[in-house]
Structures are given as C-alpha cells and as structure tokens.
C-alpha cells in the first residue's frame, strides 16, 4: 500500500492545478443552461414527430446551412434571391420541358417560388444584373437583328453561329452553374447561340443552321455586341489553255516596288499587266461578287511556254462571294470572251478545298513539243556537259543572254530569240595559225581580255599568249540528221539526273532529281532562213521534268542531255506543253 501513495499524491496535485486555472477565470460563466427551461413546454417524442411531418424545414434559415442545388425548391428560391433572369432560371433550374423556351420555363420556376415566398417578388429589381449571363439574354433580339441584316447581301443555304466570350466570364458562369444549377444544365455560350439560332430559323427562308461546313459563319462578340462574318470561299474547277506566250500563270509582283506600286509598273504593283490568274479570276470574281481570288494549278509553265491540248487543271478560289451559284456555260463564255484568245477555259464546275489539295499533290505526266537550233561544240564544252553533277556548285550566273533573232517559230508571234545556254569552259587561245593571221590590235585586245601585258611587237604578243593560255579544243562537226533522229528516239525510257537549274535556283532547293522520259517521237529537221538546222520533236515525261535543260544540258546539270549525246550546242527556240495526262 505504501508503494501507491506517491501516485495518489500526484493525482491530487493535478486536481489542484486544474482548479487554479478555473479560479483564474478560464471557463468561468454566470450563464446557467437550465435557467430558461420551461417544464410545462415538455412534449412527448410522438408529438414532435407528428409536428415535424407537417412542416417544411427552412433550409435557408441561417448563412451556415448548405444551399442545395436546383431543381430543389430551396435551390430555386436561392436562384431567385440572387437575381437570376428568367432565361437563366429556365436554363439552370432543371424544370424545362421538351420544346419549351428558357424564358417560359424560368417564368414557371419564378412563379412557383413566389407562391411560397412572396417577399422575393422584388428580387430581380434589387439585383438587376443576372449573375449567370450578365443580362446577355436581354440582347438576344438585338443580336438576331444584327445577324439578320448582316447576311442579307449574301446568298447562302447553311449558316453557323459562334460566340466569343471573355475567359473570366465563362469560368465564373461555369462555377455558379455547377454549384447552384441542376445537373446537365446547358452552358451559357451554347444556350445563347441556340436562342439566337431559333429566332433566325423563323426569319431566314431556305437557310439551315449547322455546326460544320457553313456557307457563312457569324461570330458574336458579347463584349461589344457586334457580329463578324466569315464567308466561305467558292471553289471552281476547270482546265485552261494558254494560247499566247509572255503571260505568267499567276500574278507577278513588280521587281522594283515589290507590289506596292510605282511609275515603272504604272502603279499596278505587277511586273506583267496580264496573267492567267487575272484573265480567269477577274471575270469569276465579278460574276460571284467576291473580294479576291487565288489560283491553284496542277503545276505551272514558264512565261514563254504555251499550254495546249486539253489544258492544265486548276481550281480558282473566290473569296467572300456574295453569290454562290453560277452557270458553268455562261461563266466559260464570259471568261473566254474577255480573254480575247490569250486564254481559254473549259470543263468548269463547282469544287471544294479538298480538290485543291488533290490538284497540288497529283503528279501528272506531261507531253511537250520543243524546237531548237544547232551550233558547233568543242571538246572542252562536251567535257563540261558530261562531268559529274556537282551539288556544291551553287553559283548563279546569267543564262538568258539574247542571241540573234530567229525567223522560225510556230507562228509570227512566236518568232522570239532562242534561249542561250552557254557552256562555261576554261579560257583558251586561238590556234597558232589563227594568231599569225590576226592584226596586232586584235592581239593587244586579246591580251587585255585575259589580263596579260599588252606591250611589245606582234611576235612577242603571240608568244605571251602561247605561254599563258592553252590552245582551243577541237571543234566537233555538226551531227548528221540520222544521228539526231537516232539520239532523240533513243531517249525513250531514259532516266535523267537533273540538278535544280540555275534559272530557278533562287526559289527551288538545290537537289538532284531523277526523272524518266516515257516517250520520244521522231523529230522534224528543217532549215531556217539563216541556213541553220532546226529540230522539233515531242516527248512525254514524268511530272517535274525540266524539258529545256533536257535539251541543252544546263552546263552539265542535266545528264544525259540531247546536246551531250549529239555533241552540239542546242539553243531552245520555243517550248509548248502539248498535254497534261491527268483527270
């Protein structure tokens, strides 16, 4: 027993410590929990149960109680109390029937709440701004009028609506709707768009409200209460034949002003006044009342090349058109008449954006007819044409030096100068016999041309040239007609290795492309008025083949070439696209 005495003493010390705090005033009060108990007010448990079953508990009696969500009566009461408009009351109240408008459903909910709590009749006046939509639904009629007036100038059958909301507004409405609204309630953005769409359906004839692929999309800005229209472009497929040289396929901005307009381009901003794009697109744009046009072609031809045969497939895009329907026959007649024989179109029909991609991505074989003249070639020039293609050579030098006018062409308007194709070779000197016959002034000019001293007598000048420069290479004889025919017919099935030509190296990647010649027909060989032979032949080759380079070799960038095979320089007179084998 003696061993337990210290523990007992510790317990008494703890009690004394607690009383010390009590005496200090902690936990002390003069209020008695039993002072107000009325013995006469006691009732049995059964009586309490009966009374509780007849009364609805006031769930919003204090601010500490949780507010239930709609469609509970207490939830509806809270929605009315915070100033919710009729449209949002019907939208988030969870009592809207099929085919019933939000406003009608909201009025029924509000009336049910006022029948129980008449003092909330002025809640909407007390809180004039709806916490859900910020009174946007009051502007539905205004926005409907704005959209209706905006689409009047446009011919359309499919209309889509959209709305642009501030991010904080959509986030705030979403939080309120999930906290107080019924489950599955429609979001503010969708509800506003649908409300306007229903009214537009009643006012617009033969117009369907859609969610994809519209003719016109109306985008509503809820901050400024304005509407922006996005009008889908009209696409027209067809084929064009370019019957005149000197016309580019698409608009070519002026080199001097970069399209801004200057005196050189007569303030048009164009390097060339006419183009296939404008000759076709301008009449289309006028007929459909568009604002701009864009040209999408299946490949392109050079400005000096005609496009014949069935024509080149294309799709013309007319932007923001007010009219969408057109007569292909009338449009074809209008374009051909205004083009004046420079361009002809055929097979016009409605198209779409997918066909633009198809047109751009389809590799089509093409037939060409080309005509060229012959000039002698020496061994050094042949070595350049047959040397391995050098990918590191990115030098761009002028290739289009003008030569003497040729009188031969497919018609009078095609009598253009041949496209010069110089072959760069190391500097050489004339033969010893030729220098012996030259005058001293000619030898002085030759020394000056090659950076040599120009003083001394004629023998000194000849000796100086002999020491500094190698003799000229052997010049090959021009090939016979039989050799030319054999070489050109032998091109069938040949696979060409073509490095990007220098004339397009500024806009094309420097690559070696392999292209196949599928057909090569027997050439026509004639003498022109200067007594030179001209060769004309037709070939069919793979899409993307550089045909001019296939003939003259482009200083060895295309191998093999007609020039390297016949050992003669080939200067192209003209080139025509005979046909495009597609569609």
Mean per-residue pLDDT pooled into runs of 10, the chain (583 residues): 47 50 47 47 45 45 67 92 93 90 92 91 90 93 95 95 93 92 92 94 92 94 94 96 94 83 83 91 95 94 93 96 95 95 95 94 92 90 78 43 38 43 64 79 84 84 80 81 94 92 82 92 91 93 93 91 94 94 81
For residue 222, which of 138, 121, 101 has the smallest C-alpha distance? 138
pLDDT of residue 58: 46
Q: Looking at residue 391, what is its pLDDT? A: 43
In this structure, whether the domain defined by 367-424+475-581 belongs to CATH 1.10.8.80 is answered with no
- The Cα–Cα gap between 109 and 580 comes to 70
Q: Which of 298, 364, 281, 312 is nearest to 576 (CA)?
A: 312
CA distance 323 to 216: 12
The reported pLDDT for the residue numbered 138 is 93
The pLDDT assigned to 491 comes to 94
Q: What is the pLDDT of residue 396?
A: 42
Q: Rounded to 5, what percent of the chain is helix, strand, coil?
A: 35, 20, 40
Please answer whether residues 368 and 519 qualify as being in contact, where contact means their C-beta atoms are separated by less than 8 angstroms.
Answer: no
C-alpha pair distances (Å), 430 with each of 437, 458, 461, 473 = 11, 15, 13, 9
Given CA atoms 495, 501, 506, 512 in this order, what sign does their dihedral have?
Answer: positive
Question: For residues 272 and 247, is the Cβ–Cβ distance under 8 A?
Answer: yes
Beta strand 292-297 with 306-319 is: antiparallel
pLDDT at 47: 46
Residue 275's SS3 state is: coil
Residue 493: HSE in the Cβ half-sphere, 13 Å Cα cutoff: 2
Q: Within a 10 A sphere around the Cβ of 193, how many other Cβ atoms? A: 20
Give the phi and the psi of residue 123 in degrees, each rounded to 5.
-60, -40
Helices H, strands E: what count in the chain? 19, 15
Q: What is the CATH number of domain 234-362?
A: 3.30.70.2510
| pLDDT for res 17 | 53
Q: Among candidates 329, 331, 149, which has minimal Cα distance to 234?
A: 331
Task: List alpha helices for 298-349, DSSP H.
Answer: 328-339
Q: Where are the domains of the chain?
A: 234-362, 367-424+475-581, 432-468
């Amino acid at each position: 027993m003696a061993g337990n005495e210290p523990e007992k003493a510790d317990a008494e010390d703890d009690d004394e410590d607690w009383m010390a705090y009590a005496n200090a005033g902690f936990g002390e009060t003069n209020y008695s929990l039993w002072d107000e108990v009325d013995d006469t007010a006691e009732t049995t448990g059964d009586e309490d149960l009966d009374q509780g079953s007849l009364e609805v508990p006031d769930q919003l009696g204090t601010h500490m109680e949780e507010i239930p969500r709609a469609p509970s009566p207490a939830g509806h009461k809270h929605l009315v109390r915070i100033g919710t408009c009729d449209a949002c009351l019907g939208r988030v109240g969870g009592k809207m029937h099929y085919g019933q408008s939000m406003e009608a459903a909201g009025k029924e909910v509000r009336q049910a709440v006022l029948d129980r709590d008449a003092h909330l009749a002025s809640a909407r006046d007390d809180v004039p701004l709806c916490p859900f939509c910020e009174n946007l639904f009051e502007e539905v009629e205004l926005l409907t009028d704005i959209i209706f007036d905006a689409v009047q100038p446009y011919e359309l059958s499919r209309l889509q609506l959209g709305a642009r909301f501030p991010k904080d507004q959509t986030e705030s409405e979403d939080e309120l709707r999930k906290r107080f609204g019924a489950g599955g309630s429609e979001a503010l953005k969708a509800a506003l768009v649908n409300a306007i769409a229903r009214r537009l359906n009643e006012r617009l004839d033969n117009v369907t409200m859609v969610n994809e692929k519209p003719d016109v999309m109306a985008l509503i800005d809820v901050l400024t209460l304005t509407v922006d229209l996005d009008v889908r472009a009209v696409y027209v497929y067809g084929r064009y034949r370019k019957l005149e040289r000197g016309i580019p396929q698409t608009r070519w901005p002026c080199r001097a002003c970069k399209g801004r307009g200057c005196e050189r381009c007569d303030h048009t901003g164009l390097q060339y006044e006419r183009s296939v794009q404008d000759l076709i697109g301008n009449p289309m744009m006028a007929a459909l009342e568009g604002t701009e046009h864009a040209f999408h072609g299946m490949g392109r031809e050079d400005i000096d090349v005609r496009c014949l045969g069935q024509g080149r497939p294309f799709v013309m895009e007319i932007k923001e058109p007010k009219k969408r329907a057109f007569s292909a026959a009338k449009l074809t007649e209008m374009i051909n008449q205004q083009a004046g024989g420079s361009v002809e179109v055929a097979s016009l029909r409605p198209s779409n954006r997918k066909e633009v991609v198809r047109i751009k991505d389809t590799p089509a074989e093409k037939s060409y007819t080309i005509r060229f003249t012959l000039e002698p070639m020496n061994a050094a020039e042949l070595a350049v044409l047959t040397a391995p293609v050098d990918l590191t050579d990115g030098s761009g030098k002028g290739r289009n030096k003008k030569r003497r006018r040729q009188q031969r062409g497919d018609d009078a308007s095609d009598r253009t100068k041949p496209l010069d194709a110089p072959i760069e070779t190391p500097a050489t000197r004339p033969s010893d016999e030729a220098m012996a016959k030259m005058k001293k002034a000619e030898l002085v000019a030759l020394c000056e041309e090659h950076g040599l001293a120009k003083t001394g007598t004629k023998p000194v000048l000849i000796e100086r040239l002999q020491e500094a420069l190698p003799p000229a290479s052997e010049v090959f004889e021009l090939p016979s007609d039989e050799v030319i025919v054999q070489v050109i017919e032998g091109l069938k099935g040949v696979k060409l290795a073509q490095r990007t030509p220098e004339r397009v190296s500024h806009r094309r990647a420097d690559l070696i492309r392999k292209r196949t010649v599928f057909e090569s027909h027997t050439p026509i060989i004639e003498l022109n008025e200067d007594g030179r032979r001209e060769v004309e032949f037709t070939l069919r080759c793979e899409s993307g083949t550089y045909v001019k380079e296939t003939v003259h070799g482009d200083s060895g960038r295309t191998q093999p070439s007609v020039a390297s095979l016949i050992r003669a320089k080939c200067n192209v007179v003209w080139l025509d696209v005979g046909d495009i084998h597609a569609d």
